[in-house]
């Protein structure tokens, strides 16, 4: 497949909500394969179509290369645990910038696969954290928006200085 160009923060497309996928066809499979190639090249463990400027609700995760990649179409969280977990997050669109974010430790997820078949799954730990991060992106919420204003401003200033 192909490695596609990644958007870079602060591209305005990273703040736009994605539309649901309605066509489950070869174009969707090609896009998912391109996302996987792009994510691996970045490198990263998760990517959305929004990261390459395609505003469709598609997430690809590969948290363990031994288990391989997973593609989630139109994912939505139907339940969050009250228990939380702190984890260091970053983005393929803002390489080198990371900070700690607190999120629910477990979620229940509804999604479709590449054939349009609906699934429901409970996720915990790192998998749940990654999925919440990617769904935020699908909703137009870039991960740094989860930081306090002061932490966000410091991180952006440091990243922009390093990026020039």
- pTM of the prediction? 0.95
Please tell me the predicted confidence (pLDDT) of residue 14.
95
The verdict on residue 82 lying in a domain is: yes
Please tell me the predicted confidence (pLDDT) of residue 97.
92
Structural domain including 19 reads 12-163
**Where do the H-state alpha helices sit in 25-148?**
26-41, 125-138
Please tell me the predicted confidence (pLDDT) of residue 110.
98
The verdict on residue 94 lying in a domain is: yes
Half-sphere exposure of 157 (CA within 13 A, CB side): 6
Number of domains in the chain: 1
CATH number of the structural domain spanning residue 158: 3.90.45.10
Half-sphere exposure of 71 (CA within 13 A, CB side): 23
The verdict on residue 6 lying in a domain is: no
Locate the DSSP E strands across 41-91.
Answer: 46-48, 58-61, 70-80, 84-89
The verdict on residue 2 lying in a domain is: no
Kindly list the catalytic residues: 134
pLDDT tens across the length of the chain (164 residues): 799 999 999 999 999 999 999 999 999 999 999 999 999 999 999 999 999 999 999 999 999 888 899 999 999 999 999 999 999 999 999 999 999 999 999 999 999 999 999 999 999 999 999 999 999 999 999 999 999 999 999 999 999 888 76
Residues 6+ apart with CB under 8 A from 102: 84, 85, 86
Angle 44-50-54 (CA atoms, 0-180°, nearest 5)? Answer: 125
Please tell me the predicted confidence (pLDDT) of residue 163.
76
The verdict on residue 101 lying in a domain is: yes
């Amino acid at each position: 497949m192909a490695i596609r160009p990644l958007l870079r923060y602060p591209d305005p497309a990273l703040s736009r909500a994605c539309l649901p996928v309605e066509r489950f066809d070869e174009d969707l499979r090609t896009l998912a394969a391109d996302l996987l190639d792009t994510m691996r090249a970045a490198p990263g463990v998760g990517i959305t179509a929004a990261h390459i400027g395609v505003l469709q609700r598609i997430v690809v995760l590969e948290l363990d290369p031994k288990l391989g990649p997973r593609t989630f179409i139109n994912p939505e969280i139907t339940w969050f645990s009250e228990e939380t977990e702190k984890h260091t997050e970053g983005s393929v669109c803002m390489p080198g910038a990371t900070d700690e974010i607190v999120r629910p430790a477990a979620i229940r997820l509804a999604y479709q696969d590449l054939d349009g078949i609906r699934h429901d799954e409970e996720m915990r730990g790192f998998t749940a954290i990654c999925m919440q991060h990617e769904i935020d992106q699908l909703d137009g919420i870039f991960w740094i928006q989860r930081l306090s204003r002061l932490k966000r401003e410091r991180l952006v200033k440091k990243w922009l200085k390093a990026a020039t």
